[in-house]
Structure 1
Amino acid sequence: MVCSGFIRLAAALVCLWGLLALPAQAQSDTEVDLALVVAVDISFSMDTDEQALQREGFAQAFRSKLVHDAIRGGMLGRIAVTYMEWAGSPDQKVIIPWTVLDNSESLMAFADRIASTPLRRAQRTSISSAIDFSVKLLEESGLTANRQVIDVSGDGPNNQGRLVLEARDAALAKGITINGLPIMLRQPGYLDIPDLDVYYKDCVIGGQGSFTVPVRERDQFIEAIKTKILLEVANLMPGQTLISRIQSPQRTNCMAGEMQWRDRWSN
């Protein structure tokens, strides 16, 4: 199974990267190797079991020794992360504000805060608003970061707010990288689209070193999230086996979600 190789490959890459990295003394409390926005879908299309798995995956990622080692191997040896949840265009909420992670204690405390936050759900899916909100969080963070990354997870296409391509391109113009975790645990149904991973590749992610880690099986969920966070912290890309690309004769329709919503009300 593809998932079974996630952590082994990522660990090998981190070990190699760590040998090459040259740690340097941090000059300021606001200087970090990475400023990371974890943007998590809580729309009603995500059932509570999926939400719980998603939450557990992120909590486990920040408890992982591999992630701890990757942070220590950075030039400054610390990152800053904020965890936010999103659904429709008016619904973005910061669950954990910007937090500098530079030792095991801070990482464990951050993971515990993720795990202990009550689950909630909300209407609609606005990836574009999630990206715009994340960009604002980065701009107002007060951090000086070598890299700025938005980590978007979701199980459906954009169907509210401005076009996702507009939001993506605006973020990329600011030097921000967007990575994706398309969640594909169910057969496409109401307001879903087939090949969500291709949609994310064509319409959502972008920037230097951007990638997706699709989740197609429930038992892949937690390991996929852990691997994605690890690769983002270590500034590595997954091998081609992790990016399960589907051959498509033409570019994805990046307005597929908006068209579905329009058709719903016109019939």
Structure 2
Amino acid sequence: MRRRSLLMAGGAVAGSSLMPPRAHAEPEAVDVLLVLAVDVSRSVDEDEAKLQREGYRAAITDPRVIEAVQGGMLGAVAVTYMEWAGAEYQRQLLPWMKLSGTADAERWASALAEAPRASLSWTSISGAITFGMALLEQSPFEGMRKVIDISGDGVNNSGQPVEQARDAAVARGIVINGLPIMNDRPSFGRRPAVPLDQYFAESVIGGPGAFLVAADDFTSFGAAVRRKLIREIAGRPMPLQPA
């Protein structure tokens, strides 16, 4: 019941290519279970939201990302896409989907292009992590690694402290990687006492091999996503550095 209500609340896009396997089937193994958790708080305007989505669509279909997917032990990953804002808002926009080649990636990108968008106040990175943990638990796939990928342009200002959510996820064997967007526009809520990439490094990312890739702004977001996906899928550690 919990799984069904969460998927319905998530507004998952319908389509046979995106539907998870039947509940009674044995979980299919993949190299990585990857939750893409994307900030849609009020500091992200319509143009920036489009740049984020186009960045993910372009990255997932990039030949270099597909090569990384196919180079894994099993040659496949499972991805779900969620959006988040304040503590009261997390939504699974696309259900779990197996990606093993170009055709899968293109279907995923098309579904994301058609999905509706919302924008709400406040920024709860902790809420995004907690919701991402639930999505991982309910995945119809079995992953050799479990990763939550947090992208956002502000600090946690809603819900429980982000460090608590991060530590709970890491305790369950989940890796949290980050993509801070170093936006110079005014943000809502409190400003970080340190640069946003430092904040992500100290308070958001965690787990073995966790890393972040900072995007200078929304226009450089797509390149940052591509680089980060390749590293996440390949499972190789990476130094902290800008896109």
2:216 corresponds to: 216
CA displacement, residues 38-79 of structure 1 (integer Å, 9 cap, x when unaligned): 000000011111111111100001110011111111100100
Is 74-83 or 44-53 further displaced after alignment? 44-53
Output the CA distance in 2 between the equivalents of 1:152 and 1:107: 20
Which position in structure 1 is the counterpart of 2:100? 102
Structure 1: gaps (5+ residues): 1-27, 245-267
1:218 Cα offset (Å): 4.0
Superposed, 1:137-148 pairs within 5 Å as: 137-148=135-146
Partner of 1:50: 48
Distance 1:144 1:29 in 2: 6
Contact 1:52–1:119 (8 Å) recurs in 2: no
Residue in 2 aligned with 1:157? 155
Alignment of 1:1-267 (within 5 A): 30-187=28-185, 190-191=188-189, 192-193=191-192, 194-240=194-240, 242=241
Amino acid across the alignment from 2:58: Q
Q: Whole-Å Cα distance in 2 between the matches of residues 29 and 167 of structure 1? A: 27
Is the CA contact 2:215–2:242 (under 8 Å) kept in the aligned structure 1? Answer: no
Structure 2 distance, partners of 1:218, 1:190, is 17
Find the aligned partners of 1:64 and 1:88 in 2 and give their Cα distance: 31
Going from structure 1 to structure 2, the CA distance change for 1:60 and 1:30 (only over 3 Å counts) comes to same
| Aligned residues of 2:126 and 2:160 also touching (Cα < 8 A) | yes
**Larger Cα Rg: Structure 1 or Structure 2?**
1
Length, aligned pairs only: 216
Query: Superposition RMSD on alpha carbons, in Å?
Result: 1.7
Which TM-score applies when normalising by structure 1? 0.77
Q: Separation in 1 of the partners of 2:218 and 2:35?
A: 24
Q: Distance in 2 between matches of 1:239 and 1:178?
A: 15
Distance 2:149 2:89 in 1: 17
Task: Judge which range, 54-63 or 216-225, deviates more.
Answer: 216-225
Deviates more, 1:36-45 or 1:193-202: 193-202
Cα deviation, 1:108-135, whole Å, max 9, x if unaligned, reads 1001111222332012111101100000
Contact 1:211-1:243 at 8 Å conserved across structures: no
* Structure 2: gaps spanning 5 or more residues: 1-25
Is the alpha carbon distance of 1:106 and 1:236 closer, same or farther for their aligned partners in structure 2, counting shifts above 3 Å? same
In structure 2, relative to structure 1, the CA distance for the partners of 1:144 and 1:198 (3 Å cut) is same
Partners in 2 of 1:136 and 1:218 — Cα distance? 28
TM norm structure 2? 0.84
Name the amino acid aligned to 1:211: F
Using a 3 Å threshold, how does the CA distance of structure 1 residues 218 and 131 change in structure 2: closer, same or farther?
A: closer
Shift of the alpha carbon at 1:88?
Answer: 0.9
The alpha-carbon distance between structure 1 residues 30 and 39, as it changes in their structure 2 partners (threshold 3 A), is same
Which aligned runs of 4 or more in structure 1 are off by greater than 6 angstroms? none
CA contact (8 A) 2:51 2:219 kept: no
Structure number with higher strand proportion: 2
Q: Deviations over 1:132-156 (max 9, x none)?
A: 0000110111322110000001111
CA shift, 1:217, in A, is: 3.3
Partners of 1:70 and 1:92 lie apart in 2 by 29
